């Protein structure tokens, strides 16, 4: 009976050894895969961190640009208001001085027309002026 058990063990041993070797190979491949995936994970984390920093930097720059645009719009509105008020004052002077037109020289009247034309051109140019966002983009090239 011992002889029979020994023969069965001898017959089974090569299959078990082969199975053990296969499992050891699978474990080695799985370990290699884990190492590669951990390395790739590290690279991806670093890339994510860099992109996150870049995103927040761009976000801060956008906020500064938006504030600058708002400030410039406010300043433009103030300038338009000042020009309008100046034009109203000039109109009142012309109305008040309507009786005195004969007393004004032609050069003074001409100078008044030039001043009004200059203000008009200034307003047109302010409307056509490139926005600060456009200027920032063109400087990046």
CA angle 117, 125, 79 (to 5 degrees): 80
Residue 13 has pLDDT above 60, yes or no: yes
For 110-135, give one letter per residue: b (16+ CB within 10 A) or e: eeeeeeeeebeeebeeeeeeeeeeee
pLDDT tens figures, 90-104: 666 665 555 554 455
Residue 110 has pLDDT above 80, yes or no: no
Check if the beta carbon of residue 95 is closer than 8 Å to that of residue 102: no
Domain count, the chain: 1
Q: 0.75 cut: is pTM over it?
A: no
Q: What is the mean pLDDT of residues 54-72?
A: 96
Check if the beta carbon of residue 81 is closer than 8 Å to that of residue 123: no
Range of the domain at 67: 2-139
pLDDT of 97 reads 55
């Amino acid at each position: 009976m011992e002889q029979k058990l020994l023969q069965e063990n001898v017959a089974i041993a090569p299959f078990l050894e082969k199975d053990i070797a296969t499992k050891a190979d699978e474990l080695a491949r799985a370990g290699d895969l884990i190492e590669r995936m951990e390395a790739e994970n590290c690279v991806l984390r670093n890339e994510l961190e860099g992109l996150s920093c870049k995103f927040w930097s761009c976000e801060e720059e956008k906020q500064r640009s938006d504030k600058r645009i708002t400030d410039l719009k406010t300043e433009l509105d103030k300038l338009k208001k000042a020009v309008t008020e100046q034009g109203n004052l000039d109109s009142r002077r012309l109305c008040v001085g309507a009786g005195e037109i004969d007393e004004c020289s032609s050069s003074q009247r001409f100078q008044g027309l030039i001043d009004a034309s200059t203000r008009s051109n200034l307003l047109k140019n302010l409307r056509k002026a490139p926005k600060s966002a456009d200027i920032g983009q063109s400087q990046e090239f």
